[in-house]
Amino acid sequence: MGNNVLEYQNVEKSFFGVRVLRNVNLALQEGHVLGVVGENGAGKSTLVNILGGVVPADSGTIILGGSHYAPRNPSDAFRHGIAFIHQELNLFANLSIAENMFIASFPKRRFAAIPLIDRKAIRSKTKALLESVDLHLSPDTLVEDLSPGERQLVEIAKALAADARVIIFDEPTTSLTARETERLFAIIERLRSQRISMIYISHILGDVLGLCDDIVVLRDGEVVGRGTRGEFTLEKMISLMVGRDIEQLYPPRSTKPSEEKVLEVNGVSHPGIVRNITFALRRREVLGISGLMGSGRTELARILFGLDPFQSGEILLNGLSLGGCSPRERVRKGMAFLTENRREEGLLMGASVVDDIALASLPSFARTLLRLIDELRMRRAVDRVTDSLRLQYGHRQTAKTLSGGSQQKVVVARWLMEKPSVFILDEPTRGIDIGAKYEVYRIINDLAAQGTAVLFVSSEIEELIGMCDRILVMSNGSIQGCFERPDFDKEKILRAALRKDAIQ
Amino acid sequence: MYFFAIWPFTPNFASPQNVRNIFSNMLPLLIVAIGETFVLITAGVDLSVTSIMAMASVFGAWTMTSDGGLLAGSFLAAPVGILVMLLTGAVIGLLNGAAVTLFRMPPFIVTLTTMMFFRGFAIWFTQSEKISNLPRAFVALGEGGIGFVPYALIITLALAMVSHITLRRAIVGRWIYAVGHNVKAAAISGVPVNSTVAFAYVVSGLCAAVASILYTARLETGDPDPRQTILLDIIGAAVIGGTSLFGGKGKVLWTALGVLFIMVIDNSLNMIGLSHFKIMIVKGGIILFAALIDALRNRLLGSR
Amino acid sequence: MTASRNSVLLFTLKNAPLIILVAVFGTFASLSSKFPTLDNLVNILVQSSSILIAAIGMTFVLLTAGIDLSVGSIMFLSAAIAGKMILAGHPVALAFAVIVVVGALYGAFNAFFITRLAILPFIVTLSTRFAGRGLSLMITETRAMNLPGLVQIGSTRVVGIPFPILVLGFVLAVGHAVLTKTAFGRHIYAVGHDREAAKKAGINTVRVLFLVYVVSGLCAAVGGLVLLSQLGAVSPTFGELREFVAIAAAVLGGTSLFGGRGKVFPGTVLGAVLIQTVENGLNIINADPYVYPLITSFIIFLAVFIDSVRHAQLQQLKRRRIRVETSA
């Protein structure tokens, strides 16, 4: 038993009025590994982002090493000895390992009053650091020649070089091979013996149980379970993560899916991305695709819409193979795609809302010989759609100034202009408030009732359970389970999402 | 939103001769600037317009000239010559467009390279000599007109109107703006991004060719080496007029005002007696200033 | 199978400049016996020195994914000022010192607009290019200046090494050392690769970006100096279009327009020598001089094409995120 190197006391955080962390209390002992588990959106990232100085806490106290801790930015956190090993690594691939290590603080030697990099010094120091993470490579190796696992070890070595006292691992093993994962665990052991404290976030529960001394389970921003490793089992963690069903209101479904298959996916694979995806989507069906981060959901959606290629298998729309045709072709054939990041890939921020909404359906308003747009007809059609969505906007307004919920409606409106036969929605309720979420659910129901087949990709198991006829669960690029409505069970679904990995 | 404030910088020159002068210089410039606007809206740039003008001029003259041109003396000379010029512009524009879309090369380097290449080509083709003796019918385009209205003005107005309608009402116009705003969102929404961008470059090439028709007719020679400073005038005019270098914003009317502004500045500085070079410096400064406003506006309105 | 084919392709892409140089060299050597003489080879090096010096500065800028289109005008301005000073009787050394400062100031001017006011580099340097040329034309009053005394300097040899190559050697050594051996140099690569990550890592990105344009201005001025000493005269078209050749030399030598990739030695050196070799060779075989710019621009196009393809390939490779199992 050592003393607590880190303590959270009643920490709270909200984003745009939505509470993300409430009353979080936890403690990290010196030389221990604290596992943090929870579903997507449970608050794990925010919890460590506060520690890393990326966002400030709204209230509560954080004690680091016995004193008050409130970092203003990542550099501040860095100086306090906090090291953050992100999923997206911050290494410069065009520089060598040694250069990356010391990029901000090169040891220098003088050559006629000109400060030059002391190569010998950084080489030997880097070599020592690499040894300590069991990476036997030359310090002059370029980072771009390293595998993701090796790059991660370099990041850890960087943390050690900065005399980090607390190292945060955020989903570290997603892109690692089995061997590299083992190596990572060995390093963690070594770090532990060096009295370095660690926070380990992962959805691979088996790893967490095997690795961590203490565990914290988050759900909806609250700590619902906290204790030593011995107090937890796989079952207990899952049931805590899942909790009891909260009173989420979902609009009632008015129609049942028909038998007619609209979209058939057979054995679609692309190495490193998805493996052997096979399923069918029927008219009026709302098919959910669940899975944790990195499971390949969005990648599958993009492949289905033609944005990314696939190596083997086939996709049939209404019986006809889609082959390699472009998104443009698919739009013409009646497919629609709501991307998960409306800012980057969805909205035309600088254009007027009307133009934004009309974008995908322009050809149908330009049937004249000269392909001129019938503005009146277009505007009327846009108004019809926005009325049905209850979207309000000013005459010359651009999407930039709308709220998150309204922005999402704009993108949805775009696809509703032409009745799509297949509508793929990727995280449609991300970043919007409760009221707007309900609207989106209502829209999805209406769509299904009017004959559209909906593919609903989401990380929120509850909303899938509330909305879908069937749920497919993906993990590690392949489908791990399929659930029909009667069998909907949050725990079972989560288990399927974890299954491949939980059994390590 | 950015609104364009014209500051008519008018010291003293309301004389009709002067006005006519400004006008006749302005028209070809405006035509090219309109073409350039199409490209700028897609968040690209076309630096090769001066060389396209040279090539069009040279090829056209070569077909038309009575000094042993292809169709010397034939009554077809003028119309075919014009056709050749337009074709030249379209082809080079297509080349630019293909490189930018298919090979994903940065627009400014592509058009820089084509600028150098075709400038050299034009000079090589003519061995640095100008081609004269163009058919009367053709030259008439530069001088004559219908009643009081010179042909040049008619052509310019027609082109401006067509461009305006294209950008404003045609579907390809909407596509151009969409690509400029967010090319990823446009692609997902089914916009044919590659064709649209290529189209913009072809338009730019065609406009350069049309401007070249007016220039060549007025100068009565095929000139392989027009003034290089025109390039800055063109881009500067568009940017001053409110077209954004970051894409998504621009209108024919704005560009027209920008061109007017540049011409007025040019003319008034000339009248004041500023040397040619000082004018270059001032113009450089003004364009910098316009780009500054563009950058500020972009930053103010937040990330795109 | 595909593995070996891929590695051949990779090797070609990585060593493209050298391969092309050897190919070009071989072509001209076979076309004329006057080509591969030692005298001619030294000649090529001497002819390329002024543009190579400017290209070294350009490399610094390109590494940060920027561009400097005003290099030719900086050369002209330097030559014009130096010419005026020398004609007015000032010592040559003083004139040279002054234009080095002028070049640095010009670069700082560019840098200010690019870094502080966040205007796109190509527009800033395009504007200053015209303004600078205008300024220089004003100074020279559009007349040529003849400075025969300078040619003497230009053709002197110190321990048998011609003056231009001496200056080139110095600039090259310093440039290479800075890029590879100093923190500043490494920061340039970091910023060019990922500006956000560099900021997060604590690098002063604004300062880095500012300084590279100053370096470019400096090199352009020195290049102008060397060119002046070779020509002995300043004409109104001095330095015209030289910036594009400088860009071409860097890109041909492996520097990427997208930033973060490129070397001054051997890279940019090879690029500049390649371009000069082509021009020299064409000259020797008495090719039509009008053909030069055609070939040069075609080579630039090819270089950028290769760069763009490589860049696109790298982007593709970034897609993989899922754990790869033991299957192929």
Instruction: Choose among B116, B119, B245: nearest Cβ to C123.
Output: B245
Domains identified in chain C, total number: 1
Asked, for residue C11, whether it belongs to a domain, the answer is: no
Hey, are the CB atoms on A339 and B188 less than 8 Å from each other?
yes
Distance CA A52, CA A56 (A): 9
Q: Determine the pLDDT at residue B53.
A: 92
Query: Quick one: chain C helix, strand, coil %, rounded to 5?
Result: 75, 0, 20
Asked, for residue C320, whether it belongs to a domain, the answer is: no
| In B127-243, alpha helices (H) | 136-143, 151-169, 171-181, 183-188, 193-219, 230-240
- Omega before residue C266 within 30° of 0, cis: yes
Q: What is the pLDDT of residues A235-257, one digit of tens each?
A: 788 788 876 554 556 777 777 88
Task: Tell me the mean pLDDT in the region B278-292.
Answer: 81
CB pairs under 8 A between A and B: 81
DSSP A246: P
For the ranges A369-383, A426-440, C44-58, C288-302, the maximum mean pLDDT occurs at: C44-58
Alpha-carbon gap: B26 to the closest alpha carbon of chain A (Å)? 29
Hey, are the CB atoms on C241 and B116 less than 8 Å from each other?
yes
What chains are in contact with A, requiring at least 3 Cβ pairs below 8 Å?
B, C
Hey, are the CB atoms on A355 and B302 less than 8 Å from each other?
no
- Which chain B residue has its CA at the smallest distance from C70's CA? B284
Distance CA B244, CA B258 (A): 13
> Which chain B residues are Cβ-neighbours of C291 within 8 angstroms?
120, 124
For the ranges A237-241, A245-249, C219-223, C235-239, the maximum mean pLDDT occurs at: C219-223
Amino acid at A437: K
Instruction: Choose among B172, B175, B190: nearest Cβ to A332.
Output: B190
Residue linked to tokens 């860097």: C250
In angstroms and rounded to an integer, the radius of gyration of the C-alpha atoms of chain B is 19
Tokens, residue A29? 């002992």
Q: What is the pLDDT of residues A187-235, one digit of tens each?
A: 899 889 888 999 999 877 888 888 999 999 988 888 988 999 889 888 7
Q: Determine the pLDDT at residue B160.
A: 92
Domains of chain A: 4-242 (3.40.50.300), 246-334+418-504 (3.40.50.300), 344-414 (no CATH)
Distance CA A58, CA A49 (A): 13
- Which chain B residue has its CA at the smallest distance from A330's CA? B190
Q: Determine the pLDDT at residue B3.
A: 37
Q: Inform me whether the pLDDT recorded for C324 exceeds 60.
A: no
Hey, are the CB atoms on A95 and C189 less than 8 Å from each other?
yes
* C119 interfaces chain B, CB cutoff of 8 Å: yes
**CB of A357 within 8 A of CB of A417?**
yes
Task: Tell me the mean pLDDT in the region B175-192.
Answer: 91
> Which chain B residues are Cβ-neighbours of C293 within 8 angstroms?
116-117, 119-120, 123
pLDDT top residue among A54 and A368:
A54
Q: Determine the pLDDT at residue A155.
A: 87
Chain mean pLDDT for chain B: 81
Phi and psi (nearest 5°) for C319? -70, -35
Distance CA C294, CA C290 (A): 8
Q: Inform me whether the pLDDT recorded for C235 exceeds 60.
A: yes
Chain-centre distance for alpha carbon C253 = 10
Interface predicted TM-score of the whole assembly (ipTM), two decimals: 0.79
Distance CA A357, CA A347 (A): 9
Distance CA C132, CA B278 (A): 10
Task: Tell me the mean pLDDT in the region A336-364.
Answer: 86
CB within 8 Å of C37: residues ≥ 6 apart: none
Which of B248-278 are b and which e, b meaning 16 or more Cβ less than 10 Å from the residue's Cβ?
bbbbbebbbbbbbbbbbbbbbbeeeeeeebb
> Which chain C residues are Cβ-neighbours of A75 within 8 angstroms?
202
> Which chain C residues are Cβ-neighbours of B287 within 8 angstroms?
123, 126-127
Which of C322, C326, C327 to mutate to probe the A interface, most A CBs <10 Å?
A: C322
Q: How far is CA B148 from CA A110, B50, B154, C11, in A?
A: 78, 30, 11, 67
Q: Determine the pLDDT at residue C253.
A: 85
**CB of C324 within 8 A of CB of C268?**
no
Residue linked to tokens 């993009």: A302
Distance CA C264, CA C173 (A): 9
Going by C-alpha positions, the residue among C43, C227, C244 that lies closest to residue C147 is C227
* B301 interfaces chain A, CB cutoff of 8 Å: yes
pLDDT top residue among B1 and B172:
B172
* A476 interfaces chain C, CB cutoff of 8 Å: yes
Task: Tell me the mean pLDDT in the region A75-88.
Answer: 82
Q: What is the pLDDT of residues A306-346, one digit of tens each?
A: 888 888 888 988 888 887 778 888 888 889 999 888 878 88
- Which chain B residue has its CA at the smallest distance from A340's CA? B185
Q: Determine the pLDDT at residue A503.
A: 40
Q: What is the pLDDT of residues B109-126, one digit of tens each?
A: 899 889 989 988 888 888
> Which chain A residues are Cβ-neighbours of C261 within 8 angstroms?
94
Task: Tell me the mean pLDDT in the region C278-306.
Answer: 81
Q: Determine the pLDDT at residue A328.
A: 85
Q: Determine the pLDDT at residue C5.
A: 61
Q: Inform me whether the pLDDT recorded for C323 exceeds 50.
A: no
Number of Cβ atoms within 10 Å of the Cβ of A5: 21
In angstroms and rounded to an integer, the radius of gyration of the C-alpha atoms of chain C is 21
Chain mean pLDDT for chain C: 83
Asked, for residue C289, whether it belongs to a domain, the answer is: yes
Q: Determine the pLDDT at residue C10.
A: 67
- Of the given ranges (A14-28, A488-502, C230-244), which has the lowest mean pLDDT? A488-502
- Of the given ranges (A88-92, A277-281, C64-68), which has the lowest mean pLDDT? A88-92
Which of B262, B280, B286, B298 to mutate to probe the C interface, most C CBs <10 Å?
A: B280
Q: Inform me whether the pLDDT recorded for C328 exceeds 60.
A: no
Q: Determine the pLDDT at residue A373.
A: 78
> Which chain B residues are Cβ-neighbours of A363 within 8 angstroms?
171
* C309 interfaces chain B, CB cutoff of 8 Å: yes
Hey, are the CB atoms on C322 and A294 less than 8 Å from each other?
yes
DSSP B103: S
Q: Inform me whether the pLDDT recorded for A16 exceeds 50.
A: yes
> Which chain A residues are Cβ-neighbours of C262 within 8 angstroms?
none
Instruction: Choose among A345, A349, A373: nearest Cβ to B169.
Output: A373
Alpha-carbon gap: B98 to the closest alpha carbon of chain C (Å)? 12
* A142 interfaces chain C, CB cutoff of 8 Å: no
Task: Tell me the mean pLDDT in the region C223-238.
Answer: 85
Residue-range definition of the domain harbouring residue C219: 19-307
Instruction: Choose among B174, B181, B186: nearest Cβ to A350.
Output: B181
Hey, are the CB atoms on B280 and C113 less than 8 Å from each other?
no
Asked, for residue C8, whether it belongs to a domain, the answer is: no
> Which chain B residues are Cβ-neighbours of C132 within 8 angstroms?
284
> Which chain B residues are Cβ-neighbours of C297 within 8 angstroms?
113-114, 116-117, 120
Assign residue A483 a region (left: φ > 0; alpha: ψ between -120 and 50; beta: otherwise).
Answer: beta
Going by C-alpha positions, the residue among B35, B54, B57, B55 that lies closest to residue B45 is B35
pLDDT top residue among C41 and B35:
B35
At C171, which CATH number? 1.10.3470
Tell me the three state secondary structure of residue B229.
Answer: coil
* C67 interfaces chain B, CB cutoff of 8 Å: yes
Q: Determine the pLDDT at residue C320.
A: 52
Number of H helices, E strands in chain A: 16, 22
For the ranges A374-378, B66-70, B221-225, C59-63, the maximum mean pLDDT occurs at: C59-63
Q: Determine the pLDDT at residue A406.
A: 82
Instruction: Choose among A307, A330, A362: nearest Cβ to B171.
Output: A362
- Of the given ranges (B216-225, C134-143, C152-161, C162-171), which has the lowest mean pLDDT? C152-161
Hey, are the CB atoms on C182 and A94 less than 8 Å from each other?
no
Task: Kindly list the residues of chain C whose beta carbon comes within 8 Å of any beta carbon in chain A.
Answer: 177, 181-183, 186-187, 189-190, 192-194, 197-198, 200-203, 260-261, 319-324, 327-328
Asked, for residue C163, whether it belongs to a domain, the answer is: yes
Hey, are the CB atoms on C127 and B285 less than 8 Å from each other?
yes
Chain-centre distance for alpha carbon C316 = 30
| In C232-324, alpha helices (H) | 242-252, 269-284, 292-317
CB within 8 Å of A372: residues ≥ 6 apart: A366, B165, B169, B170, B171
* B182 interfaces chain A, CB cutoff of 8 Å: yes
Alpha-carbon gap: C134 to the closest alpha carbon of chain B (Å)? 4
Instruction: Choose among A349, A372, A414: nearest Cβ to B189.
Output: A414
> Which chain C residues are Cβ-neighbours of A202 within 8 angstroms?
none
Alpha-carbon gap: A429 to the closest alpha carbon of chain B (Å)? 19
**CB of B24 within 8 A of CB of B217?**
no
Q: Determine the pLDDT at residue A500.
A: 55
Distance CA B195, CA B171 (A): 13
Tell me the three state secondary structure of residue A146.
Answer: coil
The model's confidence at residue C13, banded by pLDDT at 50, 70 and 90, is low
Q: Inform me whether the pLDDT recorded for B4 exceeds 60.
A: no
Please, what sign has the CA dihedral across residues C138, C143, C149, C155? positive
Tell me the three state secondary structure of residue C126.
Answer: helix
DSSP β-ladder status, C161-162 and A67-68:
unpaired
Hey, are the CB atoms on B188 and A345 less than 8 Å from each other?
yes
**CB of C15 within 8 A of CB of C209?**
no
Q: What is the pLDDT of residues A140-161, one digit of tens each?
A: 888 888 887 888 888 888 888 8
Q: What is the pLDDT of residues C99-140, one digit of tens each?
A: 999 999 999 999 999 998 888 888 899 889 888 888 888 888
Hey, are the CB atoms on A94 and C319 less than 8 Å from each other?
no
The model's confidence at residue B140, banded by pLDDT at 50, 70 and 90, is confident
Q: Determine the pLDDT at residue C147.
A: 75
Alpha-carbon gap: C327 to the closest alpha carbon of chain A (Å)? 9
Which of B67-106 are b and which e, b meaning 16 or more Cβ less than 10 Å from the residue's Cβ?
eebebeeeeebbebbbebbbbbbbebbebbbbbbbeeebb
Q: Determine the pLDDT at residue A2.
A: 55
Hey, are the CB atoms on C319 and A95 less than 8 Å from each other?
no
Hey, are the CB atoms on B291 and C67 less than 8 Å from each other?
no
Q: Determine the pLDDT at residue A105.
A: 76
The model's confidence at residue B164, banded by pLDDT at 50, 70 and 90, is very high
